[in-house]
Amino acid sequence: MNAIFRAIWVVGYRELLRFVQERSRLISSFGMPLIFLVVFGAGFGRMIGTVVPGVDYIQFMYPGILAMTVLMNSLMSGVSIVWDREFGFLKEILVSPLDRRGILLGKATGSAVVAIIQGSVMLILAPFLGISLTFFTVLKLIPVLFIVSIAISSLGLLVASRMKSQQGFQMVIQLLIMPLIFLAGVFYPVNNVPLIMEVISKINPLTYGVDAIRQVFLGADSAYEIGITIFGHTMSVLDDIIVVSILGLGLISAAVWSFNRSE
């Protein structure tokens, strides 16, 4: 176990150092979420108006935009494995005493910490958008963001385990990003879509992350009418976290298995 924790610490710390040294990464990661927030929030906000009593469209969409910020960083966490493979650094890690499971867990953990940092910066916008934000809300939000990021990072690592070039990885990730975002309830409630889209949305791990973040922001009562319903049961924050954790565990297990086979 000590070898696994040591690997998590070493690799996770390296990911944080790379993030600190690449300031452009911090700025660029907010580009798409902010564009969506401005275009959809300002453009559709007036047309849609109030989603449910007491919740306008921007208040509904903002938690999804926060989840999108986490998604963008988490999925791209896998590119570091592809980069390390291309430049030979991955071989040096693999011949070291570090546990292979710990290497991937360290990548995911480092990505999750970076996602929390980026999400915290996004929270600065909340008061300007009329979204109530308290210290207690932030405390509840941090573990939710961490768990969601670990799950999504695992998907990125699973894809990266089979990729041999950065170009190939980025093409696959671009194909994944849009469906994950649009089928996660970021812009509309997932219960009010055609059946096939609803089914796909409910196997998307980001859907439950968005719902959990939205409930933290809006409160369970306000989010009840627009929450996820599974077999007649409306998901609570705890339910969402359990589902995300199970999906994340499955994805990270698949990533470790795939990584060991490919290397």
CA atoms of 156 and 71, how far apart (whole Å): 10
Look at the pTM and tell me if it is higher than 0.85.
Answer: no
pLDDT at 235 over 70: yes
Which residues have a Cβ under 8 Å from the Cβ of 177 and sit 6 or more positions away? Answer: 71, 72, 75
Nearest to 122 by CA among 150, 145, 151: 145
What's the pLDDT at 199? 82
Q: pLDDT tens digit string along 81-108?
A: 777 676 666 666 666 666 667 777 777 8
Question: What letter represents residue 206's amino acid?
Answer: L
What's the pLDDT at 46? 59
What's the pLDDT at 52? 59
What's the pLDDT at 42? 62
pLDDT at 206 over 70: yes
Kindly report the average pLDDT of the chain as a whole number: 76
Domain boundaries, the chain: 2-262
What's the pLDDT at 36? 67
pLDDT at 207 over 80: yes
